[in-house]
Amino acid sequence: MRKLRAALTAVTVLGTAAVAVAVGTLDASASTELGGGALLPVSIVSDVAVDTTRQRLLISDQNTGQLVRTTYAGKVETTKTALPGVDGLALSADSGTLYAAMAEAHAIVALNPETLAETGRYELGATVYPRTLALAGGRVWFGYDGSADNGYVGNFGSFDVAGGSVAFHDATAERTAFHDAPKLLTAPGAPGTLVVADVSNNAVTGGAVAVYDVSGAKERLTANSSSSATFVRDAAVTADGASLIGFGVGCPIWRAPVASPYARVAGYDNTICTPSSIDVNTDGRIAIGYNNSDGTTDVALYPAGSETADQEFQLPNTAPENKPVPDQTGKVVWEPGGKRVFTFGYNYKAEWRLWVLDGPEQTVPTTAPPPVVRVRPSLTLSPAGTVSAYGTTVTVTARLGATATNRVVEIWADPYGTEPARLLRKTTVDAKGALTASLKLTRTTTVQVKFAGDAKYLPATAGAVLNTKVAVALQGSRQYKTAKIGTVSYRYYRKTVHPYFVTTMTPYPKRKQRLIFEVASGGAWKTWRVLDVPLTSAGKSVFTLTGAHPAGARYRVRAAYLTGTSGDTVNYPTYGAYQYFTFTV
């Protein structure tokens, strides 16, 4: 996606006044050292712990198995290697111990945050791959899965620091399930509460959130959203422990009461798409990072209790020779109780940099002669969150709330995957402030409307995600006849014949189709066999059902595309029609 502008600036909004400020640090020496952002010697920023006692950052890199300790300005002081799969980090309340989850070592390691020397190790067993950490209720909590490639069901557990006893969560009596290692969330205002969020792509459990009271000897489920209509990519608990803030795929930021994590409503402007990270300061301020590359906001800061940003930042392009687009935000982290926001961005050369943003003070501005200011107009885009069949043509409508006409807006379409964003329409809105554009959907697509601003109005953006199914068809062959059983049409096969099934599905690199076979048993259909079959580049796959075929047994089969499970995430989960068949002598 092209960046429309690349200025290392931010807009601060105090009341109705807008002031441009530079992204920077809190002191001149740090600003000089940062220059174009502090280049970090990591392949990925997996997690970050902020040591306010020593004013240091602790950064894990799960790809290389190393932990990096830097100054607030990003100067590397110590690097510890040989931490296989190091991911989640948690710093004790007294800043005396850093806990790190090492997935490939099946252990949690305790480190001295100043020297990074190991001070303890908690072994979890050869089948446990810990990846996320949190401190709550006097215990260290860890989220884990059961394989090196995140391919199995996840869970969480904990251990007592003093005794070292490890306990694994038992969900047999609950309606909870997690796929891969769940994200663990806590808040200073609720020290006895642990929020567990499934951030996987699993079509069944992805997006589920469970809340536990961990103040006692054993965790106790207090709230649950075991089935969710939307994935969760990241989430955070507000400082008072009362609300959950999160996002899934596309544009919306949502909030929900911790006591009712399923009651999600849109919030926090919702005018910028592709959020990538959320963090809440101990005083209630909120930072949201966005994975944008089109000139829109990369980091937005919100005062405590407000859902309107008072600062918005953009990152520059640190690799112009590689791609004509700016850096993207991978993670935002507050300095607990402070006003620094540590922003970790990356460019198209896969280089990670630290940008230190100076968050706003929580004070009321003094009265002064009002400057000439611009106001931000309302800008909406509809429809949003729809689910359409492959090849559907959808018309979107942008509405600009500016009172005057003759204002130009742009409507962009950005299909999921590697396709570049394309401009659908750029022209003046009509007398009602509306502009429409049509597009044919072949992939789930983020649509954005952009108003560049003018002398009277500030720039504005709005977005919507249009979910798109794949085209899927399943055809069986080798039957000797077709006839109805009741009202349902069945294919009849001799029990010595192996049915042959051909699936045609919208192609995509490395895509697989899932075949789901069910057998009639006890008056109900029960899953009998599930398998994933790769598609050819033309979107074809074939499967022969071998083995013994008992005469009289009734079966049905359908082909499906499952987001993530089928090898990619560019379309919405799609199930084809059932094909029914049976065998005779």
CB 221 within 8 A of CB 176: yes
Distance CA(264)–CA(266), nearest Å, equals 7
Hey, what are 360's tokens? 């706003």
Distance CA(581)–CA(492), nearest Å, equals 6
CB 371 within 8 A of CB 454: no
Residue 18: the pLDDT is 27
Residue 70, judged by CB atoms within 10 A of its CB (0-12, 13-18, 19+), counts as buried
* Strand ranges, E, within 124-177: 129-136, 139-145, 153-160, 166-168
List average pLDDT for each run of 10 residues in the chain, which is 585 residues long.
28 28 32 58 97 96 97 95 97 95 96 95 93 94 78 84 83 80 93 93 85 91 73 92 88 86 82 85 93 81 90 87 84 94 92 84 40 75 93 95 78 89 92 93 94 82 91 96 96 97 96 96 94 95 95 96 91 96 96
Residue 2: the pLDDT is 23
Residue 366: the pLDDT is 38
CA 20 centroid distance within chain: 30
CA-wise closest residue to 421 among 295, 509, 314: 295
Domains of the chain, each with CATH number or no CATH? 1-35+282-362 (no CATH), 379-468 (2.60.40.730), 472-584 (2.60.40.10)
CA-wise closest residue to 298 among 353, 223, 258, 255: 353
pLDDT digits (tens, 9 = 90+) for 431-444: 889 999 999 999 99
Q: Element (H or E) spanning 273, and its range?
A: none
CB 411 within 8 A of CB 447: yes
Residue 36: the pLDDT is 57
pLDDT digits (tens, 9 = 90+) for 535-581: 999 999 999 999 999 999 999 999 999 998 899 989 999 999 999 99
0.95 exceeded by pTM: no
Residue 7: the pLDDT is 30
CB 296 within 8 A of CB 312: no
Residue 63: the pLDDT is 95
Classify strands 56-61 and 66-71 as parallel, antiparallel or unpaired. antiparallel
Distance CA(448)–CA(460), nearest Å, equals 11
* Strand ranges, E, within 452-499: 460-468, 472-477, 481-485, 488-494
Hey, what are 323's tokens? 């791609």
If DSSP codes are grouped into helix, strand and coil, which group holds residue 380? strand
Counted residue by residue, the chain has a size of 585
pLDDT digits (tens, 9 = 90+) for 268-314: 876 667 899 999 999 999 999 988 777 778 899 999 988 888 888 88
